[in-house]
Structure 1
Amino acid sequence: MSNISIISTMSNNAKGLMLTSLGIFIMSVESLMIKYTTISSFVFSFYLGIFIFASMLGSLMFKKKNYVKNAFKSSYIFLIACATMMAVSNIFFITAVKTTSVANVVIIFSTAALFSSLIAFILYKEKMSKNILYASFFMFIGLFIIFSDELSLGSIEGNIYALLCTILFSVSFVLLAKYKKMDRMILTALSGIALSMIAYFLSDNLKIDTTNLLIVMSMGLVISSFSRVLIGNGAKYISASEVSLLMLIETIMAPIWVWIFLNEIPSSNTFIGGSIIILTLIINSLYTLKKEEIV
């Protein structure tokens, strides 16, 4: 039986779990690819934006003629705002990976789901459950421990970039949840354009050698686009809580890839603070899943 046949016979939940897990697993390689390059974060962002846009443009060519026109009819201001925030968030992420340890970056980024709940409460007064408040308390304890690390490997500058990346991503996630009609493919294409434009104005020199170009190209055309297609399709069949729980695959795997290939070992503060955050996220996700089952 072929892999396609196996997937088609799965239940929707099993299919969602498999597609999302595979997408997140592939996405976990991105940090290693960023770390491997010897170019600045702005040069990386410039070319990455071009390849992301090219990838989405190739997909959009197979859509109907009025697809793009209709996508801009609803919430186009928020579509552009969201794309810009995602672009800036990407620049902060790339800069953070190049500045501090990958473990620090992905652990800080793993708090995005909880930050989204806090931001939704601030912007739209959405009610926060008690478990989110408890989880946020332990999340900030974990972040405090990571930020208090003064070792050279875990620089405070890189941690700040990672935190800014997480906050901007969380705001864009809240907007996406609020304006559900926003087209994800158009959004990704616009974020690619925004990423290149912002990086162009911030970079002094856009020269790139063949090796670095191939790494960025493979990330923009294959890794980033393919992983997000898998995650997007998988997320249709499972709950947000399950997606949040599966996102921990990246939190765990990204530092492992960098440890295997670049021998980058996280500091003790990252282990302690990260363990608190990961454990908090697991407990919160499992609690939410159990509550959803009861309802």
Structure 2
Amino acid sequence: MSTTEYRLGLVLVTASAVAWSTAGFFTRLIPLDSWTMLAWRGIFGAIGIAVVFIAMQRRDAWRSVKNMGRPGWLFAIVSAIGMVFFITSLRHTTVAHVAVTYATVPFIGAALGWLVMRERPSKNAIFAGLAALAGVALMVGLGADGSLFGDLMALGMTFCLAAMMVIARQFHNIPTMPAACLSALLSGLVCWPFGEPFAVSGQDLFVLMLFGLVNSAAGLALFTLGARMLPVIETALIGSLDAPLAPLWVWLAFNEIPSISTLAGGLIVFSAVGLHILVEARRKEAVAPLPD
């Protein structure tokens, strides 16, 4: 993997974390139940991705869909299942437990990456992942009560996300945009029967469209593209930026001042990810071959 490809992967996955972190901001704007929001989020996300890749591929768009193959369908199905796990976990356990469980994805991803691809994580990535986990735990607190079923659902969601990273990493030839489009569509269709998607005002529908385009379409597309270019544990580590960024947007938009623990934990996560990226970038520059 070239240094240029590695840097591009960093940019894409970081951008996907920024896009996904807007979920809290949009849910504050939309006075609807979770199933209805996520149904429209998936539908609008799929439409947004489809418009982009049809404009890019034109006559080859349908061929890209047909060439998804089993890895592409597997990626989309795992993503949709992960969304169901995520929604169910939030309904049966605390947000704190979901966030802490999600923060273990670097280690689950590293284990799956080693089992499937024999991709050994660097010590620096492991230490950074531990620091990010500690930061997220500090942000949400470890004393909140949850339930075993909800915690298991959150763990299932975390395994699904780690599996998506491994699939994207191992199968470089997956048509990324069709796979991301199908993933968004499936998640929307799964949530559709459980909500009230037709009982939505015009204003709320507009905000839902923005939710789908920014959070689902941009987030999924950027993640799917970037995850192919990075080791699994690094993709997961950068994805942990979602946790400290989410309260930042709510603070800026609604003047909801974060707690001291949220600020401290967020600083730890940012520092862990930033230092890891800096160290890895310098290491790759040091081992890069000199030009002839």
Mapping of 1:24-63 within 5 angstroms? Answer: 28-62=21-55, 63=57
Q: Is it true that 1:120 corresponds to 2:113 in the alignment?
A: yes
Q: 1:17 to 1:178 in 2, by over 3 A?
A: closer
Q: Provide the rounded CA distance (Å) in 1 between the counterparts of 2:263 and 2:88.
A: 22
| Cα separation, partners in 2 of 1:166 and 1:15, compared to 1, 3 Å | closer
Match of 2:67 in 1: 73
The answer to whether 1:198 aligns with 2:197 is no
Q: Find the aligned partners of 1:242 and 1:133 in 2 and give their Cα distance.
A: 9
Q: How far apart are residue 33 of structure 1 and its match?
A: 0.6
Letter in 2 for 1:73: N
The equivalent of 2:254 in structure 1 is 262
Counterpart of 2:246, as a letter, is A
Instruction: Tell me whether 160-169 or 121-130 shows the greater mean CA deviation.
Output: 160-169
Among the aligned pairs, what percent are the same residue? 21
TM-score (norm 1): 0.70
Cα separation, partners in 2 of 1:160 and 1:276, compared to 1, 3 Å: farther
1:187 Cα offset (Å): 0.8
Equivalent residue letter for 1:283:
L
The answer to whether the 8 A contact 1:245-1:285 is kept is no
Q: What's the secondary structure of 1:118's corresponding residue?
A: helix
Q: Which amino acid aligns with 1:81?
A: L
> CA shift at 1:179, angstroms?
0.4
Q: Unaligned stretches of 5+ in structure 2? A: 288-292
Structure 1 51/24 Cα, relative in aligned 2: closer, same or farther at 3 Å? same
Q: Structure 2 vs 1, CA of residues 123 and 149 (structure 1 numbering), >3 Å: closer, same or farther? A: farther
Secondary structure of the corresponding residue to residue 65 of structure 1:
helix
Partner of residue 212 from structure 1, selected from 204, 212, 217: 204
What is the aligned partner in structure 1 of residue 271 from structure 2? Answer: 279
SS in 2 for 1:292: helix
Runs (5+) with no aligned partner, structure 1 = 1-10
Shift of 1:37: 1.8
Contact 2:109 2:166 in 1 (8 A): yes
Q: Give, in whole Å, the separation in 2 of the partners of 1:12 and 1:69.
A: 26
Partner in structure 2 of residue 175 of structure 1: 167
Counterparts of 1:46 and 1:112, CA distance in 2? 25
Tell me how far 1:213 sits from its aligned partner. Answer: 1.9
Q: How far has the Cα of 1:286 moved from its partner?
A: 1.9
Tell me the alpha carbon deviations over residues 215-251 of structure 1, each in whole angstroms, 9 at most, x when there is no partner.
1112223564356667788x59x97799888767755
Distance (Å, rounded) in 2 between the aligned partners of 1:180 and 1:279 = 30
Describe the shift of the 1:257–1:176 C-alpha distance in structure 2 as closer, same or farther (beyond 3 A): same
Quick one: structure 1 residues 230 and 136, their matched pair in 2 at CA, closer, same or farther if it must change by over 3 Å? closer
Give the Cα–Cα distance (whole angstroms) in 2 for the partners of residues 243 and 147 of structure 1: 25
- Displacement, 1:20? 7.7
